[in-house]
Structure 1
Amino acid sequence: MTDSATPQDTAAPAGGPALPEEAHGPAVEETGPALGESAAAAPEDGERTALRARRRRAAVRWGAAVAVCALAGTGTALAVTAQERTDLPGLATPKDGRYTFPALTLPQLPSGRAVPKENTNRHAAPLRGLLLPVPVEAGGSPTASAAPAAGGRASASASTSPSPSAPAIESATPSGTPSVSGTPLAGGAEDRVACDAVAAAWSDPGVLRALLLQHACRDAAVREWTAADGTRTQIRLLSFGSRAEAWPLFDRLQTRGALKDAPALEHGDTTGWDAVPGVELAVRELSGAPSGTRVALLSAGDVTGVITMTNPKGVATAAFRQVVTLQSDLLA
């Protein structure tokens, strides 16, 4: 008996045996996802490449910015530190009356004189060499002058009157023979004076002259100048044989001394001043500022110093302290 054809046999294609339904499904499924993945991978790779490029550009920009800032900061620091502080805009110290002095140098000791031992309270250097130099504002030189030679003292006549044509410093040596110490410097004046000339400025000259005679003042040196602001400064140094002989003059002036031209001067306060070891300091000035006259008294071993600064418009406090401190440094 012959088998009859089924509907499935009738539906099969004529070109060959019919493939199972399972064979068609997987073939379509394998082809579809493979094409989709390749299509999606291309945009993702492009985005990654663009992102990396953007990051590289950002890194380059930030690196350049940091380098520029570092170079600018370094250049600014070099420009600021290379200049003096007072030359920088906004940092310059306002003018307060202080002067411009040359570098302070100690004088040379006389030939054959050894450096004094500590705590001897004796000065071996020439008295004139211990005077504060003239500031630039009074015509002085900004550079330190050479120390005076030990043998540069010339003899003078016995006259004690000042000589305007040949200003010098006259003092009595232990033998009683007057001598001239030094020559005037540019911008300043060194007047010929005896040891007791300091007494003429005070209200009790007789007492002071007696002290100078009793304790044998050995030498006197004076330096004066008038600055551009009108302040007149006078520095007197008087040397004795020892600290014990120099102290009575200092003590008398600081306790009961009164200037003839400014009898109302009071004892000034030196709190906050720069202390100079080995130098006693006393100040006389008016209690109210500005004071037209200021006086400083110094005691440094065998030397007594008197500093007087006057100006009708008032003596600047900063200038007064500066002169006193620097002169004390030279005597210390």
Structure 2
Amino acid sequence: MTDHATPHEPAALAEAPAGTPAEAATETLAEAPAGTPAEIPAVPGAETPAETPAETPEEHEARLARRSARRRAAARWATATLVFALTGTGAALAVTAPERTDLPGLATPGDGRYTFPPLTLPPLPSGSGAPDRTGGKNALHAADLRYLLLPAPKEAGGSLTPALYPVPTTSATGTPSASATPSPTASAPASASASASASAGASPSTAPAGQAPADWVTCDAILADQRDPAELRALLLRDACRAATVREWTASDGTRTQIRLLRFGASFESWNVFSSLRSDARPNALPGAKSTSHSAWDTVEGVHLDAQESTAKGAKGTPTGRVAYLCASDLVAVVTMTNPDGVPDAAFRQVVTLQSDLLA
């Protein structure tokens, strides 16, 4: 234990002699009017903070000038950022909005393919279904034969509007036949057989929007395309071709395309004609014809294909004539494309593949 008093004891203040700083501070606090801040006396030895010198007019103007410059710099950067953002957005829209092939430097060189409208299948008569791809009892196409032909592309003046087909009113057995049996005298080209549409029951009012219906022609109109038609004529008589139609166009690149469709009463009859055409046919468009490989093509299930080309080459280095024979159930299609400068590979493959899609 110690006898020393602690600093917090009241006796310390009481014992302080008069005139000491503690007494002076107490007296000053006591004399301060109520409600006014008490003036704290300066403590001896404490440093008094230096007063801030008054700002001169020149310094004030300089400070305002610096502040104004900072604001202008911030506004310029904000404007530049906004301009860059708008420019980037506009460039992105300009690149993504148009087709890639329409952009300079990104356009793919044309390979000869055409622009077709979206393909649609015609409606089937009531109670009819799609043909059986296995070649069974129901392996017959019930749709209107004219609407199973590929439409003309944009490059040949065709419309890009999807076709709207009329509702069929007859069954497959009631489909008009251009020629029940081939006529030996009807060997005129298809373009000269327009009168057959009247006897076939074709009506201009049934044309789908965006394209004209194909022409009904006699079955033996295909004989005009052959250098030796006698054997094919006998085959058409034996297997009884039921109906035929054709569509032709000439594209802007000079390539002429003709597609013929022949309908038979059974799958084995169409197969007989298909087999004879691919092995024995001698089309006028293909002098010195030879078979060509199509193993890399996207073949369509249920459609048999055989492709041939002429040995003569055009200025483009491609064959001047190409022919494809297709067989799908009861239908046989013959696609013929000719061009003195050469038929583009891509165009031929495209037309054959799309025609196969319609038949499948």
- TM-score in terms of structure 2 length: 0.64
Deviation at 1:311, TM superposition (A): 1.6
Structure 2 letter corresponding to 1:113: G
Structure 2 letter corresponding to 1:232: R
Q: Is the 8 A contact 2:286 2:310 kept in 1?
A: no
- CA distance in 1 between partners of 2:271 and 2:95 (Å): 50
Q: Aligned to 2:155, which of 137, 162, 170?
A: 137
**Residue equivalent to 2:200:** 180
**Residue equivalent to 1:43:** none
Per-residue CA deviations over 1:212-262 (Å, capped at 9, x if unaligned) read 222222221111122233322110111222322211211222223222453
Structure 2 letter corresponding to 1:133: P
Q: Is the 8 A contact 1:240 1:303 kept in 2?
A: yes
Q: Aligned to 1:197, which of 187, 211, 221?
A: 221
Distance change >3 Å, CA 122–CA 102, structure 1 → 2: same
Q: Is the 8 A contact 1:169 1:220 kept in 2?
A: no
Correspondence 1:67-216 to 2 at 5 A: 69-110=84-125, 112-116=126-130, 118-119=132-133, 121-151=139-169, 161=186, 167=194, 179-180=199-200, 182=202, 190=215, 192-194=217-219, 196-216=220-240
Per-residue CA deviations over 1:64-106 (Å, capped at 9, x if unaligned) read 7666545433332222222222222222233333222222111
- CA distance in 2 between partners of 1:64 and 1:139 (Å): 51
Distance change >3 Å, CA 63–CA 189, structure 1 → 2: same
Deviation at 1:329, TM superposition (A): 1.1
Per-residue CA deviations over 1:271-305 (Å, capped at 9, x if unaligned) read 33222222121111035532111101111122111
Distance change >3 Å, CA 156–CA 316, structure 1 → 2: closer
Deviation at 1:145, TM superposition (A): 3.1
Secondary structure at 1:297's aligned position in 2?
strand
Q: Is the 8 A contact 2:178 2:218 kept in 1?
A: no
1:296 matched to 2:320? The reply is no
Per-residue CA deviations over 1:168-225 (Å, capped at 9, x if unaligned) read 556xxxxxxx95264688789736322x332342344222222222222222111112
Q: Is the 8 A contact 1:286 1:293 kept in 2?
A: yes
Q: Is the 8 A contact 2:178 2:243 kept in 1?
A: no
Q: What are structure 2's unaligned runs of at least 5 residues?
A: 1-46, 53-68
Secondary structure at 2:101's aligned position in 1?
helix
Structure 1 letter corresponding to 2:348: F
> Which range moved further: 116-125 or 183-192?
183-192
**Residue equivalent to 2:270:** 246
Secondary structure at 1:208's aligned position in 2?
helix
Distance change >3 Å, CA 192–CA 274, structure 1 → 2: same
Correspondence 1:224-303 to 2 at 5 A: 224-287=248-311, 288=313, 289-303=317-331
Q: Is the 8 A contact 1:134 1:187 kept in 2?
A: no
Q: Is the 8 A contact 1:129 1:148 kept in 2?
A: no
- CA distance in 1 between partners of 2:235 and 2:177 (Å): 26
- CA distance in 2 between partners of 1:155 and 1:117 (Å): 19
Per-residue CA deviations over 1:312-332 (Å, capped at 9, x if unaligned) read 222222221221111111111
The count of residues paired between Structure 1 and Structure 2 equals 292
Secondary structure at 1:128's aligned position in 2?
helix
**Residue equivalent to 2:347:** 319
Q: Is the 8 A contact 1:223 1:234 kept in 2?
A: yes
1:218 matched to 2:242? The reply is yes
Secondary structure at 1:74's aligned position in 2?
helix
Distance change >3 Å, CA 253–CA 188, structure 1 → 2: same
Name the Cα RMSD after superposition: 4.2
